[in-house]
Every structure is written in C-alpha cells, then in structure tokens.
Chain A
Amino acid sequence: MDDELLALLQGLNEAQQASSAVRLGERNIIELVNKLQELGLTEKLIYTSDGREYLTEEQLRKEVRQQVVKSGGRVAVVDLPTLLSVDLSHCERQAAQITANEVDRFQMIEGEMISPKYFDGLAGELSELLQEVGKVEVADLAVRFNLSAEVLTNGIQARLGSQLEGRFESGQLYTPNYVARLTSQLRGALRAASAPISLATLATVALGGKNVASNSLVMSILEDLVQTNIATGQLKSGIWIPSIYGQAQSQGLASFFKQNGHITYAHAKKLGMPKPAEGLTARYPGGRALATSFVGEALIQEADAAVQEVLASATWCDLRMTLPPALTSEDVVELLKHCPSAQPPPASKTEPGGVTIVQEVYVVSGGFMQQCRAHAEAVGREVAAQASAAPAPSGKPSAAVTQEAPAAASSGHDSDEEFRKGGKKGGKKGGKKGGSGAPPPREPSPEPLPTKAEAKGGKKGSKGGKASKAPAGGGGGEGGKKGKAGGGAGKAGGAEESTGPSAEDLAAALEAKFEDLAEMVGDDGESLAQALATQVYPATLKAYATARRAVFSAGAEARRRRRDHEASATFLRRRNRRLPAAIHRCRCRQSVAEDGGGLPSASPHPTDAHRLLAAIPRESAAMVAKVNDATQGTSLGAQSITQLIDLVQEGAEEEGLRLKLLDKKVEKAMLQQHGAALQAQLAAAEAPSDALSLAIPLIISQVHRSAVSVPGRAIAQVVKALKGVVPDSVQSFLEDYNSSVVKHLTAQDATQLKTLQSKLPQLKAVAASPTTEI
C-alpha cells in the first residue's frame, strides 16, 4: 500500500472524524422562530409570501414607504403584496398606519397611497399640458391619470398659482392667457351694451356666436366684471342693464312728462319704472297719481281752469276734450276730485254755483243745470196741457188726472166693490210692469178710465219712485225695489193712461234747445242730453203732475157741487146699487172683468126696470132711462155697443162714478174662469133646460172667446148664429135639442124629457168641444 493510498485513507478518516458544521435547516429555523414568538421573546414577525424571510412591522413600513417613493409617489395597496412579497392584509394594515401617522407625507386615496410629491409632479405635467392645449378638462385628466375628479380637483386647486399657472373653473383648467382674452372680450361687450341684454346672449354675441351660456367660466368672468364695476350698470336676474340705458329711460320719462304733463303707467313701465304710481309721486310731488296715469300739476290746473270757465259761463264742457286722450274716464273722475273748482258743495252737488259731473266726464255748471231743469219743467207743463186739451173718448180727461195724482189716491173710497177688486188686480199687474225697470214713456191716454186700482198703482209706484229718487207721484216705474211691487202706475187697471213726457222726449227736447248736446255721446252710448234728461226728469214729472192736478182740481170742483145735491148718503148707496143693475146688460156683453168671476145675473125684466127707474132721483132718472131704452131697444151691434158704453160712461161721470177700463188679460183670465164655472155647473146640471142654458154660453165662450149671458128666449137666435162657426152636425144637434126643450117646457111631455135626458151626455160633450163633429 503506497503512501498516497494511506494518506487518502487517513484523509477519509479525518474527514469523517471532523465535526459537522452546525447548520440549522429551514424547517428548524421556522420552528425555532415560532417557538420564540410563542414564548414572546421576539416582537411580532411577518413572513414573506415565499416563506423565505421574516420581517418586522417596522421593516415592512419602511419598505412600504420606500416602495411609494420608488413608484413615483403613488402606489396601489393591492400592488404592495407583489412588490414586497408580503401578504395583502399586512400591507393594508401598515399602509393605513402610515397614512394615519404621516398625513402630510402620504394619503390613502381610493386604495392608493399617494404622496404630495405625486401631485407636484402631476401639476408640473399639467402645466406643460395646459401650455400646449390651452384648456384641459378635469374629466379628461381623471381618465388619464386614473384618479377621481374630486381628488384631482383638490390636488389642482392646492397648487394653482404656485406650481400650476392657470384658472380653474367648474372642472376646467384654463391658461391665464385664455382667461385674459376672454375677459377682454366680455368686458368690451359689457361696455358696448346700450340696452338690457341677458348675460347669456351677451356672451354668445361677444364670443362670436358660440353658445357659451353653459360655460361657467364665461358667466363667472361676467359676474366678476359686473362686481368690479369695470362696466357701469346693474345685473338683475341675469339681465345686464347698462347705466346708459337707465339714464336714457329716465330722461325719456322726464322728457315725456315735461312735454305732455302726464304719463300713463303703462308707458312709465315701458320706460323702466316698475312702480310708476309711487315712483312718479316721489319724483314729482306736485303731480297726482290717477287710476291709470300720473298727471302733473299743470294739467290739474288746466282742468280746474276749464271747470271754472264752465262755472263762469254757466255752460258745460267735455273734460275729455280738454285733457289728453290717454286719460281714461276713471282718470278724469279722479282728476276732477283734485280740481278745487269741481268739488261739490257739502249740501248738494247740483246747487247753483257748483258743478255736476255727468257721465263721469262732462262737467255741467249749476247754471246750465238750472236752465235744463227750467226747460224740462216747461216741457212737463206743455205736455200736461196737451194731455188735458186732447179730446178723450170719455170726454172727461180730467178724471184721469184726478186719479194719477198721489193725493187723489185716497179719493177713491166711494168706488164700489167691483172696482176695488179690479183695482187690486190691476195694481198687481201694474206693479209687475213697473218693476221691469223700463223708463216710463207715457203718452197721454186717449181713453183714460181712472179707477181706484189706478190710484193704488200710483201710490205704490210712488214708493218705487222714491227708491229710485224719482219724485213722489211721478208715475213710478223707474225701477227700484218698490217699483216691482207697485211702480207701474201706467198700466194699472189694465188701461193706458198718461204719466207725462218720457225721458226720451225730454232728451229730445233738451237737444232741440241745446243743439250741441246731441253730439255728445258717453262711453256707454248714452248721450249727454239723455243723461241730463235723466237728471231733470223728476222735475219734469213734478211739473207735469202739478199741471195735471191743477186741471183736475177744476173738474173736481164741479163734481163736488153736483154731489152736494144728493139727498142723503143712504139714497146714494141705493142708487149706486141699482144703477149697475140697469147698465149691467151692456157691460155683460163687453166685459166680465168687473164682475169678479161670477156669472152675470139675469137682466132685469122691463117691468122691473121701470120700477127701478121710478125709484131713481130725477136728476139721474133721465140718463138711466136713456140707457135702459138703449139696451132694451137696440140690437147688440158693435156700433151700438160702443155708443152704449159711451152713454153709460157719460152717465157714470155725471154721477161721480168711475168705470174701469177693460183689460184684455184680465178678461182672458176671467173668461177662463167663467168657462170653468160654466163647465162645472153643466156637469152638475141634470135638467135639460138648465143644461142647455149653460151649454150655449159655454159654447159661445169657446168659439167667440167672449163671456155672454144668454136668456132662454135668445137661445134659438144664438144657436142660429152659431152656423158656420161650429160644424153643421153640432149646430143641427143644438137646434134639435133646443126645439125639444121648448116642446118639453110647453107640453110638459114626460117622454120628451126622457129623450132629452138621454141626449144630455151628448150635449155636455158638445159643450166641452163644440168644434168637433158628432
């Protein structure tokens, strides 16, 4: 065995005998470290994600800080585990601790650690970008730098003026040059504006037609310019009102007012005065604010002068001709309140010496009103004279005058019952008509038949007249509350009657006297003459009534003398009770209106008439005999009836009685009532003769619309007269029935009676509808 081999063996032995280097395995080290941590001998250790390293929290924080700086001042926390090989939870914890303790050096923004240096660099980059493009939007920057707009905005605003030159406005960055150029353009536009213009429009115009209303920079610059008084003017609700415009408006308003002496509120508003009444009053203390205009002192004096002139000359004037046409009627009325001369005296505004305002625009002097009133009274007297002189059919026009006077209303106490009933109805009707408010155009009635009803109507009418400031007894009918109840004296009693001249007549008369009145027409279409006529109409009526009363008084004296001849009041009552019986036959033919709805009683027999005539005093006996003769001997022709009525009326006048004029409507109502009564009686009648005597008047009332009383012996003639009016079958039936009744009455034949009774229902049917064929 050579030496080399021995040496090698020795070497092997030595190598195997040599002690091993102490080297712990990873697993052992891990176990050791864990043991140490369990025992609390070391601080908390964090091991890397690859499991090869342990590191303390302080070391991790240090590495995190270094990593943020290494990443340019911004690193996402989620990237730290990759970069540091440490679990994310440890990275997040340490990052949160760092940002909490070192606020000025690190910020945790949306899961990223960002140091201020990052924004410094960002500002520098933005500054370069701004110089290139002029303006940059934060939204674009946010996308570009992957930051929220808010964070970016805060970072930019903190460095504006120091590291970043530019202007930041509503999410946009502008270079100073851009802002300066824009400011210059807008300043020029503001200074050039001469009329109100909205800022949006102004900016659009100034920037070459671009719609920049939504650009807040432009609006911001504009507001800055306005606030810094670079351009004089006011900004109201987004409208730029240059000072020069306000001055021009003010000058225009002053100029207009100076030239015209007045200005309407509408015009003042156009000239930039929002509250013209207050503004003008404060500006011109001497002027007056009217309803729609403001007038100067000069204009008031001018109007006052016109009023004074009217007063001095006792005429009238239209203030609209004097005042500017822009003033409305309301203005004129208010203006007159400010005219010292136009102020009405405390007692009455129509006193002589004062003025009357007619139709709100006409100033009428008291003297002129006096003239009108005098003329109106003259007209009233003239009409009264004409009415008194006109030949009335009754020949006694004075009677109508008697009853239309209010004082004479009480004189109707001697009228009989018939007249009183008719008077009440007439009064109601007159009241209704009077309540219609129509003016009382009354022509003197050619046939006045005054009754008590007329007097009542007049009385009630006087109340209505009072309500409407019409003179008492003036005919009423001018409206008013009471006028509805009884103002219509003109129609009272259902007859036309005279109440004096109408307002239209009076207006025409005034126009005829004062020709210049006719041209004046007010705003409501009423002429000045009509208005004046309305004013003086009561005086006219008063004059008219006075004149008529005077005429009546003359006739009343004559009647009173006649009455003195009467023997006694008892005889007068008897006469009054019997006289109507004498004249009843003609009146029955003419009207049932006076009868109160009852069937006319049978006419007196000629012998009874003679007996009655004997009982009548001599003064009246001649007339009554005349009437009686006329009724007895005259057939009922139309002409004779008229003559008979005239005769009766004449007799009644002489006796101091009043006969009421017929009223068609009352007659119609009475006719219906009469027919209904006949119908009822006919239905109840069982005797053939009675039924026939009821059926014939009923048929006549239906076919001729007249209420008649047919005596038994006249039935045959009446049935003959029905020929051609009713069907032939009806007429022949009636003739047969009449002849059968006559036969029955003369012969008292029982069989005839049965026949008649069997035909009785047919007779009733014919009476119910006489125009129907049977």
Chain B
Amino acid sequence: MEGWDSNTRETVRKIPLLTINAGPRDGEEWGKRLKEELKALIGFVQSNKATDNDWFQISPADKTGTKWKGKCWYVHNLLKYEFDLQFEIPVTYPSTAPELELPELDGKTSKMYRGGKICLTIHFKPLWAKNAPHFGIAHAICLGLGPWMAAEIPYLIDQGVVVHKDNQAK
C-alpha cells in the first residue's frame, strides 16, 4: 500500500475484511458475500462519520445486489461538489474489482474510461489481486474512488471543467 496516503491507509485498516469468495453467479454464496459487503460498507460509513469524513452515499440498485447507485462529493474551497456514482459487480467478482463510474464527468477528463469509468492507479489492481477475495466494495471505494477524486476534482475545478452547481446557474 505504498501508493496511498496515510489517512487512506488508516481508513482501510478499519474496514472489515471479507471472507467469502463468491461472485454474483454463486447463488447463496453470493448472498453471504453480499451480507459481508454490506457489513463492510456499514463499518466504512460509520468510520467516516466518526471522523467527520463522510463523502459518499450508496445503496444496491437491484435485489441481487449486482448494481449499485449513489452519490459522492468533494469539498473544495468550502464548496461541495457532488457527483452521481454507479457501478456493477462483475461476473468475476471478487477476483476482479468493480469499475466505478461517475457519469457526469464522462469526457471531461483523460483519467477516465468511456462511460465515466474512473481510471484507477497502477497500484490498485495489484493490491486488489493480492487481497482478493478479502477486499470488497468498501475497499474499492476507499482505495479507488477516494484518491481519484482527491487528485482529479481540484484539478478539474481549477480548469473550469467542473463548476459548482450554484455557479452553473450564473
């Protein structure tokens, strides 16, 4: 975990690790896995709340829990920039990490694949592969989305690519 800052590392350590190695096609095992995923997310959210560092909100979009939707936000210069967040659990999950999407930023930055999928760092995939199946959705948000937003959003704001919603009206 050399590529992350100390806060991130500290936060990751607080997220409970998952034990069940099952994907969406594994039936009941996936249900167990989904429960662990929810527990991990609850722990991650509580941890963020406790540290006054709440920066996303997410919930399953279907009953199987393979699609997820929600919001994430970033405070910059006392302005809160909020973006839609969505992703699907891949079939090869948990060996493959989910691809997190910010559809509003699609085409606005080079650090993003088509469809608004964020481009994770070169450290993420090895780390994920190394820790699979113990890493889950919470880990992907913490280690993937969080650093990406911290790096890209201020830049995009400064570039004027991203404009606060209050200023958009102007």
Contact = CB atoms under 8 A, between A and B. Distances in A.
A18 B39 contact: no
Given A20-B52, A20-B54, A9 B60 contact: yes
A711 interface: no
A20 B46 CA distance: 9
A5 interface: yes
A21 B52 contact: yes
Contact of B38 (A2, A5, A23, A24): A5
Nearest to B46: A15
A15 B35 contact: no
B131 interface: no
Interface in A728-763: none
B33 to A, nearest CB: 11
B51 interface: yes
Interface string A243-255: 0000000000000
Interface in B46-90: 46, 48-54, 57-60, 63
Interface string A269-281: 0000000000000
A8 B52 contact: no
B42 interface: yes
B62 to A, nearest CB: 11
A407 interface: no
Contacts of A11: 38, 42
B22 interface: no
Contacts of B39: 8
Size category of the binding interface on chain B: 20 to 34
Nearest to A9: B38
A22 B31 CA distance: 35
Nearest to B49: A20
A23 B45 CA distance: 15
Contacts of B60: 9
Nearest to A23: B52
A568 interface: no
A8 B59 contact: no
Contact of B49 (A8, A9, A21, A24): A21
A12 interface: yes
A24 B52 CA distance: 8
A13 interface: yes
Contacts of A19: 49
B99 to A, nearest CB: 21
Nearest to A5: B35
A9 B46 contact: no
Contact of A15 (B34, B45, B53, B63): B45
A583 B76 CA distance: 168
A8 B50 contact: no
B59 A21 contact: no
Interface in A1-51: 1-2, 4-5, 8-9, 11-13, 15-16, 18-24
B143 interface: no
Contact of B59 (A5, A12, A22, A23): A12
Nearest to A1: B63
A2 B31 CA distance: 9
Contacts of A1: 63
Contacts of B46: 15, 18
B145 interface: no
A8 B57 contact: no
A8 B51 contact: no
Contact of A21 (B35, B50, B63): B50
B63 A8 contact: no
B41 interface: yes
A18 B59 contact: no
Contacts of A4: 35
Contacts of B35: 4-5, 8
A5 B52 contact: no
Given A2-B31, A22-B52, A23-B51, A16 B57 contact: yes
Contacts of A16: 45, 54, 57-59
Nearest to B39: A8
B136 to A, nearest CB: 13
A8 B38 contact: yes
B34 A5 contact: yes
Contact of B42 (A2, A5, A15, A24): A15
Interface in A400-441: none
Contacts of A5: 31, 34-35, 38
Nearest to B57: A16
B42 to A, nearest CB: 5
Nearest to A2: B31
B61 to A, nearest CB: 12
B131 to A, nearest CB: 22
A12 B51 contact: no
A1 B39 CA distance: 16
* From B34, B35, B45, residue with most partner A Cβ within 10 Å: B45
A13 B58 CA distance: 8
A12 B31 contact: no
Contacts of B38: 5, 8-9, 11-12
* From A1, A4, A11, A12, residue with most partner B Cβ within 10 Å: A12
Contact of B41 (A2, A12, A24): A12
Interface in B101-133: none
Given A4-B35, A15-B45, A15-B46, A9 B52 contact: no
Contacts of B45: 12, 15-16
Interface string B16-51: 000000000000000100110011011001101111
B40 to A, nearest CB: 10
Contacts of A21: 49-52
Contacts of A20: 48-49, 52-54
A5 B50 CA distance: 24
* From A16, A18, A19, residue with most partner B Cβ within 10 Å: A16
A182 B52 CA distance: 83
A293 B31 CA distance: 145
A15 B59 CA distance: 11
A5 B31 CA distance: 8
Given A2-B31, A5-B34, A5-B35, A12 B52 contact: no
A716 B52 CA distance: 174
A13 B46 CA distance: 11
Interface in A218-235: none
A253 B86 CA distance: 134
B53 to A, nearest CB: 8
A678 B30 CA distance: 180
Contacts of A23: 51-52
21 contacts: A1-B63, A4-B35, A5-B34, A8-B38, A11-B38, A12-B38, A12-B42, A12-B45, A13-B59, A15-B45, A15-B49, A16-B45, A16-B54, A16-B57, A18-B46, A20-B49, A20-B53, A20-B54, A21-B52, A22-B52, A23-B51
- Enumerate the 5 nearest inter-chain pairs by beta-carbon distance, A residue then B residue, closest first: A23-B52, A8-B38, A15-B45, A20-B54, A20-B49
Given A15-B42, A15-B45, 16 more contacts: A2-B31, A4-B35, A5-B31, A5-B35, A8-B38, A8-B39, A8-B42, A9-B59, A11-B38, A12-B38, A12-B41, A15-B49, A16-B57, A16-B59, A19-B49, A24-B52
Interface of A: 1-2, 4-5, 8-9, 11-13, 15-16, 18-24
